[in-house]
Structure 1
Amino acid sequence: MISRATALDTVAEWERDNAADLVKAAGETAAQLLTPLERRWRHVRGVAARAAEISGAVRRDGDSDAHNQAAAKLLVASAWLHDIGYSPGLVASRLHAVDGAEYLAERGFPPKLVNLVAHHSGARFEAVERGLGHLMARYPFEDDEFSDALTTADLTTGPDGQYLSYTDRIDEVLTRYAPGDPVHEFWLKARPVIGEAITRTERRTGTQRGQGNARPVPEFNPSAI
């Protein structure tokens, strides 16, 4: 498991080594891969905006300003990149989370970010449902505030980038995927477990389930955190 301090130090190291801002690089990578998938790209933009809104969930009292800034960057960058595995050029398995993580690992993105993408929004449940749990072996699941917050950002954002409550979001998924489809079946099992992650994030940010502002899908602005 990657410690919080190590993960946050790695953000600064990556930015120094690449002479780049992690969030900006993540946004540009996502734009390059997902812009042709118009609806997916709207969703990703909405998730990134939502992650910025709830970034307080990954900040800690007692941490340095530099570490808290790095924590926010890690969350928002992972939001930009969480669905890149849907890009046609990256599809290699039936798990978009793993396909995206593989791409990021090969390109040297921070390991914590790679793991967040690999496990976002209950991907471990989908892997088991599809009989592909072995593909997750190289990506240890870290049940922490980053995982909770990325899951919250994703699962309170609809397919077109609009705000949805968690309840409405999962109802929408179960409607879009028919019974018997692996996505439908894994969400029947994962829903209460992932709901706990949403609740933890709400406690950290002082919000309540169902709160959120209806907003248009934001324009591409990867540097906004």
Structure 2
Amino acid sequence: MGDLIEEWATKLAATELSTTLPRRWAHTQGVADRATEIGQVLGENAGLLVAAATLHDVGYAPRLAATGFHPLDGARFLRDEHGADKRLTRLVANHSFALLEAEERGLREELAGEFPLLEEPLLVDSLVYCDMTTTPDGDRTTAEERVAEILGRYGDDSVVGRFIRRAAPEIFAAVGRVEAALAAQPR
């Protein structure tokens, strides 16, 4: 995987998000930029990370929102309409500890059954890192600020609020692991 999948992902995400959800598109572009920046820690999986980062929020597109749970809706869209790579769909479906939010929504069995977690910890953590260090407007932030922003936007007692509070320790740990991997890279 490489430039072709990245190009395809960008065109697809732009088609689905740029006009209908311009702020979500700005976030997506920022997440993809982060993935490009850190790709060296993943070697041959760098292109897959960029494609997953570019498509991670495609399920927010109004025409794709079948369940209202964007990781599942996006992964199904990629699988069913585009025959996308299984690793890519599994990354999109499970990005940023989506399984915990699926549980809050009563969709855990559906998500886990259709899109099992990848057993590639650094790749999974890298997508968390890119998503959770990017603001809704596509700018850089810390994971702590991002979690606080999500809580502020959705509220503590919302489904997303409950999920993000549960996921926060895992998010911070994943970000820390990626930062350690980046620090260990030769300069």
TM category (shorter chain) comes to over 0.9
From 66, 72, 87, the counterpart of 1:92: 66
Q: Distance in 1 between matches of 2:49 and 2:16?
A: 19
Does structure 1 conserve the Cα–Cα contact (< 8 Å) formed by 2:55 and 2:92?
A: yes
Q: CA deviation at 1:57?
A: 2.5
Cα deviation, 1:47-98, whole Å, max 9, x if unaligned, reads 0001111112212xxxxxxxx2xx1110001111000000011001031001
Q: What residue number does 2:108 align with?
A: 133
Contact 2:28 2:138 in 1 (8 A): yes
Aligned counterpart for 1:58 among listed residues 26, 36, 42: 42
User: Who is 1:104 aligned against?
Assistant: 78
- Cα deviation for residue 114 of structure 1 reads 0.5
Q: Counterparts in 2 of 1:1-225, with a 5 A limit?
A: 11=1, 21-36=4-19, 37-59=21-43, 68=44, 71-106=45-80, 107-136=82-111, 137-143=113-119, 144-206=121-183
Deviation beyond 3 Å, 4+ runs, structure 1 = none
- Give me the TM-score of the superposition, normalised by structure 1: 0.77
Gaps of 5+ in 2: none
Higher helix share: 2
Offset at residue 147 of structure 1 (A): 0.7
| Structure showing greater relative contact order (alpha-carbon pairs closer than 8 Å, 6 or more residues apart) | 1
Stretches of structure 1 lacking an aligned partner (at least 5 in a row):
1-10, 13-19, 60-67, 208-225
Secondary structure (helix, strand or coil) at the match of 1:146 reads helix
**Separation of aligned partners in 1, 2:25 and 2:114:** 27
CA distance in 2, matches of 1:82, 1:101: 8
Percent identity between the two aligned chains: 39
Q: Secondary structure at the match of 1:21?
A: helix
Structure 1: which amino acid aligns with 2:5?
Answer: L
* Residues paired across the two proteins, number: 180
| Secondary structure of 1:72's aligned partner | helix
1:158-211 C-alpha deviation (Å, 9 max, x unpaired): 00001001111101111111121000001111100121111111111118xxxx
